[in-house]
Amino acid sequence: MKEAMLYEKIGDKKVQCNLCAHRCKINEGKKGICLVRENKDGTLYTLVYGRTISQHVDPIEKKPLFHFYPGTTAYSISTVGCNFKCQFCQNWEISQMVRDEHLIMGNEASPKSIVENAKKYGGKSIAYTYTEPTIFFEYAYDTAKLAHEVDIKNVFVTNGYMTEEAIKKFEPYLDAANIDIKSFSDDFYRKLCGAKLQPVLDTLKLMKKLGIWVEVTTLIIPTLNDSPDELRKIAKFIVNELGDNTPWHISRFYPSYNLKDKPPTPIDTIHKAREIGLNEGLKYVYEGNVPGSTGENTYCPNCKNLVIQRLGYQIIKKDIKDGICQYCSYEIDGVGL
């Protein structure tokens, strides 16, 4: 165990964790909502430091990040645990392991070894992903600092439920993030995720303000968050608060975990959602979990030519050089294009 960061002692051996927006007040001998931070005798400890449940080499496109060093790989790590309880979680076996099976599993791997592996396998970046990286903040933080020393970038794939303190602490080492907007309904967040909407929106705005490259993902679930009105609200928020150059990934839902009574998202719904995003003024809207769709591709917002052609997570064709469209010299938004 390692002493946690970003907490305060509030008397009677009780502590308040200031890592995520739950800001759990934890009595001695108890754990926070994430179940991987425990108060022992008035000191808060992380229970997952250096314990990876997953290490993989992934295309950066799988995160999904389409405008951050496209075509490169991200050395991807995670521990068990999550501060959300999403009923539709796609990685529930590891994110909800502590909650469902009362287990904290993982192989020992120091931050130094993670960075060495990233270098060994040619990773341009390290992605803290698969589960919520906020809950293994200390582990990610120490790894990220070492990564920057050898010019390896750092990426969060996150639900966005971080405090301002956590974001600003990590900001010097965080280069990009893909953040979920799971719905534009607070009721959806409360009932299906065990959280609230506003902290997610606050995280998005702060990360954008701090200069972190941000892309947004929405998993569209039939009857729950697929109405044109709700999708339009998400698109408007992205345009007005984050900028029209922020990529929006609209992903197809497949029945999973505790939400197996819903059908897969109709592909036509995904197409219509992309149209809504483009009509609201977004420059880059992508269709996820629809292999072979033209909605996977990047088109120049100026001349409309195809500048990055994708098939799944692979780049088939790229007509961008140093971030510039090779057809009309328009600057395509992103990092490392």
If you ran DSSP here, which 8-state letter would residue 181 be given? -
- Give the CA dihedral 246, 182, 207, 124, nearest 10 degrees: -70
- d(CA 140, CA 133) in angstroms, rounded, equals 7
- d(CA 204, CA 310) in angstroms, rounded, equals 26
pTM score: 0.97
Give me 70's structure tokens.
């496209």
Q: How many helices (H) and strands (E) does the chain have?
A: 9, 21
Locate CATH 3.20.20.70 in the chain: 51-282
- Give the CA dihedral 262, 131, 239, 272, nearest 10 degrees: -30
Q: Could you list the pLDDT tens digit for every one of the 337 residues in the chain?
A: 899 999 999 999 999 999 999 999 999 999 999 999 999 999 999 999 999 999 999 999 999 999 999 999 999 999 999 999 999 999 999 999 999 999 999 999 999 999 999 999 999 999 999 999 999 999 999 999 999 999 999 999 999 999 999 999 999 999 999 999 999 999 999 999 999 999 999 999 999 999 999 999 999 999 999 999 999 999 999 999 999 999 999 999 999 999 999 999 999 999 999 999 999 999 999 999 998 889 999 999 999 999 999 998 999 999 999 999 999 999 999 999 9
Q: Could you give phi then psi for residue 320, rounded to 5 degrees? A: -125, 135
Give me 194's structure tokens.
């065990």
51-282: what CATH class? alpha beta
- Looking at residue 1, what is its pLDDT? 82
If you ran DSSP here, which 8-state letter would residue 184 be given? S
- Say if CB 284 and CB 333 are below 8 A apart: yes
- Looking at residue 292, what is its pLDDT? 85
- Say if CB 28 and CB 43 are below 8 A apart: no
Amino acid identity of residue 135, one-letter, is I
Question: Which residues are within 8 A (CB) of 256 and not within 5 positions of it... i.e. 6 or more apart?
Answer: 88, 89, 90, 92
Q: Which helix (H) or strand (E) holds 139?
A: helix 137-149
* CB neighbourhood size of 159 (10 A): 27
End-to-end CA distance of the chain: 40
- d(CA 118, CA 134) in angstroms, rounded, equals 20
Query: Which runs of consecutive H residues, i.e. helices, occur in 13-136?
Result: 92-95, 97-101, 111-120
Peptide bond before 64: cis, by omega within 30 degrees of 0?
yes
Residue whose C-alpha is closest to residue 73's, from 92, 94, 56: 56
- Say if CB 180 and CB 189 are below 8 A apart: no
CA-to-CA separations, 167 to 28, 162, 187, 298, in angstroms, rounded: 27, 7, 25, 29
- Looking at residue 179, what is its pLDDT? 98
- Say if CB 184 and CB 224 are below 8 A apart: no
Name the maximum alpha-carbon separation found in the chain. 66
HSE (side-chain half, CA atoms, 13 Å) at 153: 19
Q: Could you give phi then psi for residue 109, rounded to 5 degrees? A: -155, 115
